[in-house]
Amino acid sequence: MEPIGLCPRFQRGMDILSKRWTGLIISQLLSGPQRFCHVQSALPISGRLLSERFKELELDGIVIRHVYPETPVRIEYSLTEKGHALGPVIEAIQTWSSEWLDPIE
């Protein structure tokens, strides 16, 4: 009997969500558009890594970067429709972890 492989789409979704900080970044943006500094201050993540994750999420069509031509320039990040569709997934993980996992001390 041949082993059953994972669906390539499922595997791609897991690859995206399993990257370090990605789930928390998406969770943070579920409340609405935010500036880079606001997301960085809400999460214990370096600016370099946050910038990298934002670029990856933009390429995947999950996050969109809005540049406002003001002085100084204002940049906000928000979820696309595809990103908002992850809301129930993030909430389900949050519910499951609250019920089944002990807090990290």
Q: What are the chain's domains?
A: 36-97 (1.10.10.10)
Q: Residues near 65 by Cβ (< 8 Å), separated by ≥ 6? A: 54, 58, 75, 76, 77
Taking the model in full, what pTM does it have?
Answer: 0.88
Nearest in space to 61 (alpha carbons), one of 86, 31, 93? 86
As a whole number, mean pLDDT of residues 80-85 equals 98
Residues forming a β-bridge with 17: none
CB 79 within 8 A of CB 26: yes
Going by pLDDT thresholds of 50, 70 and 90, the confidence category of residue 27 is very high
Task: Give residue 105's pLDDT.
Answer: 66
